[in-house]
Amino acid sequence: MELKKAGINSKLVHAGEKVECLGSAVQPIFQTSTFQFENAEHGARCFSGESDGYIYTRLSNPTIKDLEKAVAAVENGFDGIATSSGMGAINTVYLAYLGSGDHMISTDAVYGPSRGIMESLYPKLGIESSYIDTTDIQKVKDAIMPNTKLIYIETPANPTISITDIKAVAEIGKEAGIPVCVDNTFCSPYLQRPLDLGADIVLHSMTKFINGHADIVAGMIVTKTGEEYKKIRAIMTNLGCNMDPTQAFMTRRGLKTLGIRIERAQQNAIKIAEFLENHPAVAWVKYPGLKSHPQYELAKVQMDGPGAMMSFGLKGGFEAGKKMMDHVKLALLAVSLGGIETLIQHPASMTHSKLSKDSKEAAGITDELVRLSVGIEEVQDIIADLDQAMK
């Protein structure tokens, strides 16, 4: 059977670009910085692009290429560009599309540093940005300026779990001739494929669901076309935020079990969201699988499942949140997300603490907001842990 037509779990296991190597079942780790040419002529052909032989690991490497092809296959994209981290992927995309005098539109609630660097570092390069509520499509249209060169959305957003209509934003981008990039970290390609919905670029912090075991930091960019791929790859290799072969090997191993990990964590998350919604200490819960989520209907269409991420507010506010976090025993009080272990954190004082008070408030990152990344433990144990910590 042709893998292109296979289901996603088959692709997760088998997709990639394996090199024949002593019958090895998985792509070996090619832990080498450089590759020997057969002769001067071969070296010249590698550099001119006539031969696709490997040259130097910052440019490409077979272990990294295998992972890039595998993620691109599940995102239904042209090819992937692996990076040292999710932030490496984000900066690479920013620098590929934005230069002095340009403007970017972005979702207001995004991972803290995605916005933090755009508001602190990029203005020094003459780049402007508008952070808006992209769940309101009219606001996206209204934010376009003659110098807008990139529309960047994160959905579901970190940490508010707000959901932006990818198809609608992609149509706006197409009409205006502006590329649209989606940070797909919270869903992973198992639950959401932005390129199929019209986006031009998708990126990930693979540190999260794709690797899934809280032992690797990694990023990935996947493009719809070869043209965008070439443009972005050139920036990545010159910036030097490339992945390492062992990092690629570990991440490829994590990717194989993405489907079963997400299914299991999601089953737990659905039960936990219902438990929290009915808990007397909880003021509100934001989870795409609950009817109370403002974009519940959109989530059902755009995502293949509600996922394993949620946020909730404690009636007792900031102090109650802090207290709860000091009392969890099974869940880890830690940043990051998307691992097999349940993680809990307080964005206002942790991941989003560097944003200004105004930016936090405008983006809905309130003091009482607690973020939960549900793991694959026994659901009754997670619920009992949250319950005792809230008590």
Q: Check binding of 192 to ligand LCS (CB under 6 A).
A: no
Which among 24-32, 167-175, 187-195, 331-339 is the span making contact with ligand LCS, rule CB under 6 A? 331-339
Write the CB contacts of 212 (distance below 8 Å, at least 6 apart in sequence): 254, 257, 258, 261, 338, 339, 340
Write the CB contacts of 103 (distance below 8 Å, at least 6 apart in sequence): 127, 128, 129, 130, 145, 147, 148, 149
Give me the least distance between CB of 183 and ligand LCS, in Å please: 5
Give me the least distance between CB of 219 and ligand LCS, in Å please: 6
Q: Which residues are catalytic?
A: 58, 111, 183, 208
CA distance 324 to 94: 37
- Tell me whether residue 54 or residue 302 sits nearer to ligand LCS (CB atom): 302
Pattern 72-111, binding to ligand LCS, x per CB under 6 A? -------------xxx-----------------------x
- Tell me whether residue 63 or residue 185 sits nearer to ligand LCS (CB atom): 185
Write the CB contacts of 132 (distance below 8 Å, at least 6 apart in sequence): 105, 106, 107, 108, 139, 140, 143
Helix (H, G, I), strand (E, B) or coil at 379: helix
Applying the rule CB under 6 A, the residues between 42 and 61 that interact with ligand LCS are: none
Q: What angle do CA 175, 177, 180 make, to 5 degrees?
A: 95
Q: Which of 129, 168, 124, 165 shows the shortest CA–CA distance to 150?
A: 129
179: how many CB neighbours lie within 10 A of its CB?
A: 21
Applying the rule CB under 6 A, the residues between 105 and 144 that interact with ligand LCS are: 111, 114
What token pair was written down for 299? 């989530």
Number of residues that bind ligand LCS (CB under 6 A): 17
Which among 8-16, 303-311, 317-325, 332-340 is the span making contact with ligand LCS, rule CB under 6 A? 332-340
Give me the least distance between CB of 214 and ligand LCS, in Å please: 11
Helix (H, G, I), strand (E, B) or coil at 302: helix
Given a contact cutoff of 8 angstroms between Cβ atoms, the answer to whether 205 and 174 are in contact is no
Give me the least distance between CB of 343 and ligand LCS, in Å please: 8
Applying the rule CB under 6 A, the residues between 193 and 252 that interact with ligand LCS are: 205, 207, 217, 219
Query: Which of 134, 135, 162, 185 contacts ligand LCS by CB under 6 A?
Result: 185
Q: What DSSP letter does each residue of 326-354 carry, written as one string?
A: HH-SSSEE-S---SSS-EEE-TTTTTTTT
Q: Check binding of 314 to ligand LCS (CB under 6 A).
A: no
Q: What angle do CA 165, 118, 363 make, to 5 degrees?
A: 50
Which among 62-70, 119-127, 227-235, 330-338 is the span making contact with ligand LCS, rule CB under 6 A? 330-338
Give me the least distance between CB of 21 and ligand LCS, in Å please: 29
Query: Which of 169, 232, 337, 383 contacts ligand LCS by CB under 6 A?
Result: 337
Query: Which of 183, 228, 244, 368 contacts ligand LCS by CB under 6 A?
Result: 183
- What's the DSSP call for residue 376? S
Instruction: List the alpha helices (DSSP H) in the chain.
Output: 8-14, 40-48, 62-75, 86-97, 112-120, 137-143, 166-176, 226-239, 245-256, 258-277, 296-302, 317-327, 357-362, 379-390
- Tell me whether residue 185 or residue 342 sits nearer to ligand LCS (CB atom): 185
CA distance 213 to 101: 41
Q: Check binding of 189 to ligand LCS (CB under 6 A).
A: no
Give me the least distance between CB of 184 and ligand LCS, in Å please: 9
**Which position's Cβ is nearest ligand LCS?**
86
Query: Which of 148, 266, 311, 351 contacts ligand LCS by CB under 6 A?
Result: 351
Note the residues at the interface with ligand LCS (CB under 6 A): 85-87, 111, 114, 154, 158, 183, 185, 205, 207, 217, 219, 335-337, 351
